Amino acid sequence: MDGGIPLQDSVVYGPIHSRRLGHSLGINILPVSHKVCSSNCVYCQYGWTVSGRFPERLKKAPELLKEIEESFSRLVHSGTRVDCVTLAGNGEPTLHPELEAVIIGLKALRDVYFPKAPVGILSDSTQITRHKVRQAIGWLDVCYMKFDAAEESTWRRINDPLGHTDFQAMIRVLHELPDVILQSMFVQGTYDNTDDGHLATWIDRVAWIHPQSVQVYTIDRPTAAAGITKVPRPILEGIAARLTEATGVPAEVFD
Ligand code: SF4
């Protein structure tokens, strides 16, 4: 596989039946014409992160919330099932400069339209060293934080963080954040983070971070880089079992 799937073309998308989240209503607070991300993961389903100037501007919080409310209202009237509301979309949502205002407004709309649905975020973890981002995500019901690589060299190879993120500082903040759920993507083929040495370090680091749980998964969509392959389920199950046995941290497998 080489390339990716099309970007989300609206602020609210889905609900999509996600392997990990159930009927998840996606919220994209980023542009629809290009991906905006602080990483350039080799397995990204949206292809490579391209830098440069794009004519589309970021929508401000009031504009986003107005569109979100209109969509929520339509979905309630059509009786659509929504298990959770998840900030994700076309890149890294914590890059939005008005993240806190968006999250507070989104939670207020959730209370009105989908009062039982937790509001969460899928994040690449790189921005959590910023106080403003930590303060914003503190309002969320659940934070799914990417942690594919326990060593800086593997992180740079697989997630290719853009900008200046201090790997050790990022792990320290993951450790300090309460009740995070780590998401660890495992890949094989042209890139591989399933070797024994890396797994041993990953288990040590996960134990130190001490998350609420870990989601162990692999690709199920086209990837940015060519030659990446799915990790067979028995291997994922072995990784999850090894983690839980060594650390007591619950791990769920998705393939
Ligand atoms: S963090 Fe997510 S959106 Fe960004 S490059 Fe990685 S997989 Fe793609």
In the chain, DSSP assigns E strands to: 12-18, 22-27, 84-87, 119-123, 142-146, 181-186, 188-189, 213-218, 228-229, 251-254
Domain-embedded: residue 188: yes
Please report where in the chains the tokens 């914003």 appear, as a residue: 136
Domain-embedded: residue 221: yes
Q: Is residue 3 very low, low, confident or very high in pLDDT (cuts 50, 70, 90)?
A: low
Most ligand 1 atoms within 8 A of CB, residue of 41, 155, 183 to mutate:
41
Check whether 172 has a pLDDT greater than 80.
yes
Return d(Cα 49, Cα 35) in angstroms, integer: 6
Averaged confidence pLDDT in the chain: 95
Q: What is the pTM of this model?
A: 0.95
Return d(Cα 87, Cα 13) in angstroms, integer: 10
> Which atom of ligand 1 is the closest one to the Cα of 46?
8
Q: Which domain holds residue 225?
A: 12-254
- State whether the beta carbon of 39 lies less than 6 angstroms from ligand 1: yes
Domain-embedded: residue 4: no
Domain-embedded: residue 3: no
Residue 1: per-residue pLDDT = 37
- State whether the beta carbon of 92 lies less than 6 angstroms from ligand 1: yes
Q: Positive or negative CA dihedral for 160, 161, 164, 170?
A: negative
> Which atom of ligand 1 is the closest one to the Cα of 146?
1
pLDDT tens figures, 85-104: 999 999 999 999 999 999 99
* Three-class secondary structure of residue 98 per DSSP: coil
Domain-embedded: residue 171: yes
Domain-embedded: residue 2: no
Check whether 2 has a pLDDT greater than 70.
no
249 phi and psi angles, rounded to 5 deg: -75, 125
Domain-embedded: residue 7: no
pLDDT tens figures, 25-41: 999 999 999 999 999 99
Which domain CATH number covers 103? 3.20.20.70
Distance between Cα 40 and ligand 1 center (Å) = 6
Q: Positive or negative CA dihedral for 82, 117, 236, 88?
A: positive
pLDDT tens figures, 210-220: 999 999 999 99
User: How many domains are there within the chain?
Assistant: 1
